[in-house]
Amino acid sequence: MMNRALSIRSNKGGSSSTAGGGSSAGGGTSGGGHGGGRKGFSFASLRGSIQPELSRRLYRLIKSTNTLVTAHEAAGRERVAIATQLSEWGEQTRDEAVSDVSDKVGVILSEIGEQEDSYAHGLDEARERLKAIRNTERSVQPSRDGRDRIADEIQRLKLREPQSPRLVVLEQELVRAEAENLVAEAQLTNITRKKLKEAYEVEFAATIERAEKQVLLAKHGRRLLALLDDEPVTPGDARRTYTHAAQGRQILNDAEDDLKSWVLQLDETTVPTGAEDDSGELSTATAAAPSGPHSHSHSHADDSRRREKSAEGSTAAVSGPS
Amino acid sequence: MMNRALSIRSNKGGSSSTAGGGSSAGGGTSGGGHGGGRKGFSFASLRGSIQPELSRRLYRLIKSTNTLVTAHEAAGRERVAIATQLSEWGEQTRDEAVSDVSDKVGVILSEIGEQEDSYAHGLDEARERLKAIRNTERSVQPSRDGRDRIADEIQRLKLREPQSPRLVVLEQELVRAEAENLVAEAQLTNITRKKLKEAYEVEFAATIERAEKQVLLAKHGRRLLALLDDEPVTPGDARRTYTHAAQGRQILNDAEDDLKSWVLQLDETTVPTGAEDDSGELSTATAAAPSGPHSHSHSHADDSRRREKSAEGSTAAVSGPS
């Protein structure tokens, strides 16, 4: 049952706020950093450990999904093999009823295996969407690094040589890098949300398709089993003649018809309207910058906000490839 | 789709009737042997190749089912791992909406993984029922072999020494062996039908349970995805503040409630009544020995029927352990 948790994060609590508050190079989309609990890491070391980690996590997720796809493919393949084995075993029992029922149950099992294989393909399709996010993450990384490198250089130069004429050039470079990064970050958030949603919509649809079709098949499978008379016989008594072969064929026809007429029906899931929001705010209103409970962390976010301002006016819509 | 076949046997046709007609040592449960197409094998060579094959097929089926169980266990495990990876990836995007939705979708995926694992357990339970058949097959084999050995010895002795007094003793031994085998064969057919039916009833019930629960979960998962606003933003524009966290928690609560109140509801599948049978015979009537279309094969069945007669009077019900 699901009463274990309403979150499955293993590091719930301290470490997340540490990581979130430690870097000013956030994507500009988070509601506000959490300031508490920095443990003395420099920005540079956090960038070294956390930013690649971000990309690595999705890489691992995609790899694990591949393992999952493989497991379901193997299950589908094995299921089809089992179906044939069951049928052939039944034939060799020389029991007409067992032979007929096992053969037809085998047909059902084989189709259940095919559905398992289709499910694996659905998961693989979802996986492709996640790859689009990972690829964007990877391409955004150099943009962040370039901007941060210039910012670091400015900081160093200000300490060593506050009057250096190179500072002016670097500040100009920083504005350009920030503008470029602002576009990159917008691309990242757009691709991330779009593809994340798509990926799991594809996956849930595949889950529902496999499930509903396998329910149909299993129910017809149960009808087939009912054709098998399992009343015990006494030694020497003959079994009743098996007379249900045509009924069995009809059940398979019914199953085939049910599969053919099956269509994916999904409730229209709508973005909740503002009236139902727990914040009471209208979700259609353009949200302002984070305030209220998060205001204590503004000092950490100032730096990145200044950078966003420097690119104001660049309002071209940035959306990823569909 | 299922239009591929109404049978999945790879050797449909000639070979089955050959195998069925070639041996007189059948279990006494088949409706009647098929006489055509013997290809010159002796009884001994058929016993050597076919009877162990019977047991070997079920052995292989049970082994394949174990592979299937392992595949679904692996899928369940991987699914739970992926759920955590998704949640932790989402957290590190620093996007509050992505973080919250990915964490909660992770909870759903984790539960889908748990259901996959329960399904694997259900398959394993079904597999245990098949083992009961295999064990009975194995224990019946020596009984068949013993009876056939005596019958063979009688045949040889009749040719070499028709007046031998040992023939009388052997005939008595044969009657005892046949009586013992008659019980064994009744045990085999009773166990086979009972456990075959049970095995796939358990398996189909597990299939329906996994399917229906995963449909519930996937539908709530879709509701969670709808909380994620994937309208593209322009560079520099802030995302709307994410205000759906409480709604997300409510969706998880709904999912948990749905799972808790889920019950397996199976249509009562009844043994079809005689009126619906394709033969027109009442299935409640005790079936007579095969007749009509099968009468041409009676000469092949005479031998085994004689043996059944020799054990008449032994009417104790033989049913296997439940």
Task: Note whether A193 contacts B88, CB cutoff 8 Å.
Answer: no
Task: Note whether A287 contacts B239, CB cutoff 8 Å.
Answer: yes
Distance CA B265, CA A235 (A): 37
State chain A's mean pLDDT as an integer. Answer: 77
Task: Judge whether residue B250 has pLDDT over 90.
Answer: yes
In order, the DSSP letters of B283-315 are TTSPP-S--GGGGGGHHHHHHHHHHHHTTTT--
Strands (DSSP E) contained in chain B are: none
Residues of chain A with C-beta less than 8 angstroms from the C-beta of B7: 87, 103-104, 107
The pLDDT value recorded for residue B116 is 97
Task: Note whether A192 contacts B93, CB cutoff 8 Å.
Answer: yes
Determine the distance in angstroms separating the CA of B235 from the nearest CA of chain A, rounded to an integer.
5
Distance CA B280, CA B273 (A): 10
Determine the distance in angstroms separating the CA of B156 from the nearest CA of chain A, rounded to an integer.
27
Q: What is the pLDDT of residues B181-202, one digit of tens each?
A: 999 999 999 999 999 999 999 9
Residues of chain A with C-beta less than 8 angstroms from the C-beta of B136: none
Distance CA B210, CA A80 (A): 19
Task: Note whether A196 contacts B97, CB cutoff 8 Å.
Answer: no
Task: Judge whether residue B278 has pLDDT over 90.
Answer: no
Nearest to A150 by CA among A172, A174, A180: A174
Residues of chain A with C-beta less than 8 angstroms from the C-beta of B193: 95, 97-98, 228-230
Task: Note whether A235 contacts B5, CB cutoff 8 Å.
Answer: no
Backbone phi, then psi, for A13, in 5-degree steps? 115, -130
Higher pLDDT residue, B138 or A203?
A203
The pLDDT value recorded for residue B56 is 85
Residues of chain B with C-beta less than 8 angstroms from the C-beta of A314: 234-236
- For tokens 């019980």, the residue is B183
Comparing B33-42, B115-124, B134-143, the range with the smallest average pLDDT is B33-42
Residues in chain A: 322
In chain A, the percentage of residues whose pLDDT exceeds 70 is 68
Nearest CA in chain A to B217: A204
The pLDDT value recorded for residue A19 is 36
Q: What is the pLDDT of residues A44-92, one digit of tens each?
A: 433 334 445 567 899 999 999 999 999 999 999 999 999 999 999 999 9
- For tokens 């009442």, the residue is B282
Q: What is the pLDDT of residues A116-155, one digit of tens each?
A: 999 999 999 999 999 999 999 988 988 999 999 999 999 9
Determine the distance in angstroms separating the CA of B161 from the nearest CA of chain A, rounded to an integer.
32
Nearest to A120 by CA among A63, A76, A62: A76
In order, the DSSP letters of B262-276 are ---------PPPGGG
Angle (CA) A34 A200 A71, round 5°:
115
Residues of chain A with C-beta less than 8 angstroms from the C-beta of B315: 234-237
Nearest CA in chain B to A206: B218
Q: Which of A9, A70, A203, A307 to mutate to test the interface with B (most CBs of B within 10 A)?
A: A9
Nearest CA in chain A to B87: A9
Residues of chain B with C-beta less than 8 angstroms from the C-beta of A71: 71-72, 74-75, 78
Residues of chain B with C-beta less than 8 angstroms from the C-beta of A3: 256
The pLDDT value recorded for residue A30 is 36
Task: Note whether B234 contacts A318, CB cutoff 8 Å.
Answer: yes
How many other CB atoms sit within 10 Å of the CB of residue B159?
A: 8
The pLDDT value recorded for residue A66 is 96
Nearest CA in chain A to B68: A75
Nearest to B243 among A5, A110, A279 (CB): A279
Residues of chain B with C-beta less than 8 angstroms from the C-beta of A92: 19, 50, 53-54, 57
State the pTM of this model. Answer: 0.72
Higher pLDDT residue, B306 or A84?
A84
Distance CA A166, CA A206 (A): 57
The pLDDT value recorded for residue B266 is 87
Backbone phi, then psi, for A108, in 5-degree steps? -65, -45
Determine the distance in angstroms separating the CA of A33 from the nearest CA of chain B, rounded to an integer.
8
Nearest to A228 among B110, B197, B228 (CB): B197
State chain B's mean pLDDT as an integer. Answer: 77
Q: What is the pLDDT of residues B69-96, one digit of tens each?
A: 999 999 999 999 999 999 999 999 989 9
Q: In the predicted model, what is the mean pLDDT of residues B290-316?
A: 37
Distance CA A169, CA A60 (A): 40
ipTM of predicted assembly, 2 dp: 0.72
Q: In the predicted model, what is the mean pLDDT of residues B45-49?
A: 39
Nearest to A75 among B7, B71, B192 (CB): B71
Nearest to A30 among B83, B95, B222 (CB): B95
B2-39 burial, b for 16+ CB within 10 Å, e for fewer? beeeebbbeeeeeebbbbbbbbbbbbbbbbbbbbeeee
Give how far Cα B103 sits from Cα of A190, A194, A319, B87, B267, Å.
Answer: 19, 17, 25, 4, 37
Task: Note whether B255 contacts A285, CB cutoff 8 Å.
Answer: no
